[in-house]
Every structure is written in C-alpha cells, then in structure tokens.
Amino acid sequence: MKPPVTQSTEKSVTSELSGTRRQIFARLSVAAAGAAFAAQGCSDVQKQVSRVTGPNAPTYSPLPSSSQLESGVLRVANRVAWGPRPGDLQHIASISPAGYIEEQLGADKNYPDDPAVDWRVNALDTQQTQKDAPDAMYSMEYEQLLRETQQAAILRAVYSRRQLRETLADFWTNHLNIYALKSDGQALVPVDTETVIRPNIWNFPDMLLASAHSPAMLNYLDNQQNKRGVANENYARELLELHTLGVNSGYTLKDIQEVARCFTGWTIKTGFQRGQYEFDPALHDRSAKYIPFLNLSIKAGGGKEDAETILQAVAHHPATARFITRKLCMRILGCIPDHIHERSANAYLASHGDMRATLRPILLDGLMDPQCVKPILKRPLDLVITALRSLAADTDGAEELQKHLAAMGQPLYQWPMPDGFPEKPTAWSSSMLPRWNFALALASNAIDGTRVDLNAPVQALDGSASTEKKVEALVSVVLGLHSSDVEGARASSLVSEHWKHAQTRGIPDNTILQEATALLIASPSFQWKPA
C-alpha cells in the first residue's frame, strides 16, 4: 500500500512529507492552537436550511476487512470516485468492486443523486443564466461567472453519488481545455461546461462535435480569425494534436493547413446574439481540400459540412482511439499496460466512441489487477475533494476553498495552455506547504463556507475516551485503513506519538484532534492514490 520510492521525484515527495515529521508536527501544532473553530453555533433557521439543501448525513461504520480493502475496494473508491465518503467503502465491499464499477457505469439512468447537488448547484446565478439566457452572461461580473463555475464543479465532485460521471467530467474538461481568462472566456466557459462537456460525457464523437461548435473553444483557439485566404491554424493544430490523433500519430503540417481551411467561417456571433456559434459562408474557403494523413478529399463548393466531415473522420480514427485510451489509462491506472490499452482502444472503435464500452477494460480488467496499477500523486483538486469527502464536509465550494486550490497550483479553468492541467507528479511536487496549510485549515474549520465535524466519526467508531481508539477512528475515516495494517499502523504510530506529546504540553483535546486529522491528510498515505 505504501507509495514506491524508486523514482527520484517520488523519493523527494515522500521525504518532504514524512522525513521531517517533527517539523510538520511543530508547524501544525503552533498554527492549530491559534486557529478559530468556526461555525460552532448555527441558528435554527440555518439548521433547517442545511437539512433541506445539505448532503445526506454520513454513515460511520466499521471498515471492511483488510483483505477486502486490498482486493480493490479502496482502489476503486480512489480512482473511479473522488475518494470515499463515510459508508462508501462498506457499500463497495457489499456489492464487490466490479459491482460498484457497473453501478457507476449505469448511474446516470439508475442511481438517484444526492439532493444537495441539485439544490446547491442550481441555486448559483451563473447556472440559471446560462440555461435561460446565455447572452446575458456578458452583463454579469466576470469574476462571479468564473467563481460559480468552479463552485459547481467542486460541489458536484464532493456530493454527487454519480462519482464516475464527475471524475470523467474533470478528465474531459482537461482534455478539451479552455483558458477562461482569455478574452471573453469567463462568459463563455460556463456555457461550454454545461452544453459541451456534461451532456456528452459518455460519447466522445458527440462531445468533439459539440466542442467544435463551442464559442468558448473557438474564442480560445482563435478560430473566429480563421478566414478564406488568411487561415488561422490554431484550432486545427490542437484538434489533431491534443483533442484527437495525438502529436506522434504521423500527421504533418500539410494536414493542419488543410484542416484549418475546412474550418474557415466557423465563428462567433456579435450584437444581439453575442457569444453564439455562427457559420459565415462568406468567410469559408470553398475550394477543394485534401488531408493526406486521413486520405480524405473534400470537394469544392462545400460549406460547414467540410469541417464536420473532418470531425467524423478524426473522432473514429484508430490513432484517436489509442490516444484517448492512453490518457484514460494514465488517469485511472497510473500506467499504460499494453494489453489493457489495446482492449480499450479496440472497444472504443467497435462502439464508435462509447465511453462505457471504452472504460470497461480499464476498470474491470486493469483496475482489478494490482499488477496493472501504479500509485498516483494526487493533484490539488483530487486532494481537496478527497479530503472533503472523507470528512463528510459541509461546503459551499466557494471562494475561500478555491483560494486553497489556487495556492496549490490548480485554479480551475485557468490553465493557459491547451493541454490541460498536467498529470505527472513532477508538476505537483515542487512544494508541499500549501497542501499542509489546506489540511490544517480544513481540520480546524478555518475555511469560511466549509465545516467538518471531527467528533462525529470518533464518537461513532470509538465509544471510549482512549487516545488509541480515537486515532484508530481517524485513520479508518481519513485513510480508509485499519490501524493493524502495515500502512495504517505506521500512520497511527506517528499520530499517537504527536497526540501524547501535545497532551503533555497542555494543548486542548479539540485542538489535538484537529492537528491529528491535519497530519493524516498531510501524510504520504493520503497524498497518494495507493496501488
């Protein structure tokens, strides 16, 4: 269960998190002692509102057996889902990891979602405006638009029971990345999120077609400047390199140039219908085109169907199948086993880009085989969502929480380059301090709009006042591990040592509880998705 230390990057991360634990203890202890324990006294009205709009109450119960956890229960909770909420591991064990995967693959049709998702997301002004009057987005404060779009993503990830849908929503958002701070992006990205990504999560060709028509994407990659005689190649280049075929598939500059000519005239309306897609025939290059890599000829005299023909061709190309399934393997498995990659790519082609069929080899064959899985360092978003879920946090997902994501390097919808936030550990291992700060702030209720009740799991799983039992309860809730397991025992020993030392210094029990929780979130066992 312990992350490997064979690579230099992983060595440095693990060393920084565990090798200086004495300094970590000191840092967390001093800071936590002065942190305010916020939101202690809600009014009756606030409690009533929380009962209506808040998440279902967490279910604290003993963990599944160690053998069940190691057989895939903990693995699927951390890779199919955004980490387990209390009760999730028991649910996965009861129906088997494979059963949970099938449940998640069919969740859109068969699995009722948590009411907190609809209540909290639909209450956002941005959500209502993008549905009712997308053109009105331009009259709203751009900062609000971006903040509430981030908020919706966080709330859905934290509270949705359809966890695979939400992990895929993040995957596709990065795959079809748009930098919201460019031009009018903050007014366009919220619509893209709700009309391009989310309705098409399970079918890539449909998503690609919707993305090509997306004003947010056209604006970001300058296709409104792509005109007959002065073709702009930005969108065509990223379409082939990052969205479909992949950079090493074999296409050339000639292919990019010809594809760009097919997309001339794909632009964005101005005036009364500002921000909507428009095809302008007067800007379109109507001459014949030939794309060598695709061996595809486009007859002269065509219109918008020139580009739509390209989209169909690349969406169903074997290189696209290999490229997308390679990325999915890396995101879910942390590696690319050749036989799993091949099965998934073949399933993509046979199903015409259906993601349920494409994912089954990765999830049911790859994820269930420990030899096909490698540890993954959590990106900031993974860390934040996993922590919120494990502690059954009540959060609004708003600005104060988003500041922590930004400090860790992952402000949502703000990656400038078209390749999306990176997956490699080296991109996220340069500084652990913002992660530790988040862990402490969360555990000590120092994030406005977010609250955790650390006494609830201890009381539910402990029943006694002993330090040992309290630590066992925390380890089971935060890490999903038994204190008798090798990794759980290591974490329990470190936290127990700190707990006893803090007691001798006269630190209040509630503060020690906060510190202990923060230490577990800051530990390597939590920072990594185990194999």
User: Domain limits at 437?
Assistant: 8-110+376-529
CA distance 270 to 72: 52
pLDDT of residue 245: 98
DSSP letter for each residue of 83-95: SPPTTHHHHHHHH
> Across the chain, what does the average pLDDT equal?
90
With a cut of 60, say whether residue 25 has pLDDT above it: no
| Within a domain: 141 | no
Instruction: Please report whether residue 305 resides in a domain.
Output: no
Give domain status of residue 384, yes or no. yes
pLDDT in tens, 349-383: 999 999 999 999 999 999 999 999 999 999 999 99
Confidence of residue 405 (pLDDT cuts 50, 70, 90): very high
Residue 315 lies in a domain: no
The answer to whether residue 186 is domain-embedded is: no
What is residue 54's predicted lDDT score, i.e. its pLDDT? 64
Higher pLDDT, 8 or 336: 336
Position 38 pLDDT exceeds 70: no
Residue 47 has pLDDT above 50, yes or no: no
pLDDT of residue 450: 97
SS3 content of the chain, % helix, strand, coil (to 5): 60, 5, 35
Q: What percent of the chain has pLDDT over 90?
A: 81
Rounded CA separation 110/107 (Å): 5
- Mean pLDDT, residues 71-89: 97
Predicted confidence (pLDDT) per residue in 451-483, tens digit: 999 999 988 887 677 899 999 999 999 999 999
Range in 35-44, 301-310, 490-499 with the lowest mean pLDDT: 35-44
**Residue 462 has which token pair?**
């402990």
User: What are phi and psi for residue 297, nearest 5 degrees?
Assistant: -105, 135
Q: Record the tokens describing residue 472, joined without a space.
A: 């066992």
Place of tokens 């209450």: 123
Instruction: Please report the sign of the dihedral spanned by the C-alpha atoms of residue 198, residue 200, residue 204, residue 205.
Output: negative
pLDDT at 18: 40
Q: Report whether pLDDT(448) > 70.
A: yes
Answer whether residue 68 shows pLDDT above 80.
yes
Question: What integer pLDDT is reported at residue 463 of this predicted model?
Answer: 66
SS3 assignment, position 65: coil
Residue 6 clears pLDDT 70, i.e. is over it: no
Given a cut of 60, whether residue 152 has pLDDT beyond it is yes
DSSP lists the bridge partners of residue 230 as 227
Q: What is the average pLDDT across 227-247?
A: 97
Residue 64 lies in a domain: yes
Q: Could you please report the per-residue DSSP string of 111-161? A: -PPPHHHHHHHHTSHHHHHHHH-GGGGGGS-HHHHHHHHHHHHHHHHHH-S
d(CA 29, CA 403): 22
Residue 35 has pLDDT above 80, yes or no: no
Q: Regarding predicted confidence, which is higher, 522 or 22?
A: 522
Bigger pLDDT: 18 vs 450: 450
d(CA 50, CA 36): 22
Q: Is the model's pLDDT at 430 over the cut of 90?
A: no
Please calculate the CA angle 306-309-311 and round it to the nearest 5 degrees: 115
Q: What is the pLDDT of residue 389?
A: 97
For residue 313, give the nearest of 335, 326, 331, 295 by alpha carbon: 295
Distance CA 244, CA 320 (A): 5
Within a domain: 257:
no
Total number of domains in the chain: 1
Give the range with max mean pLDDT: 41-45, 102-106, 133-137: 102-106
Tell me: the pLDDT tens digits for 335-353?
999 999 999 999 999 999 9
Q: Is residue 31 part of a domain?
A: yes
Identify the pLDDT of residue 12. Answer: 43
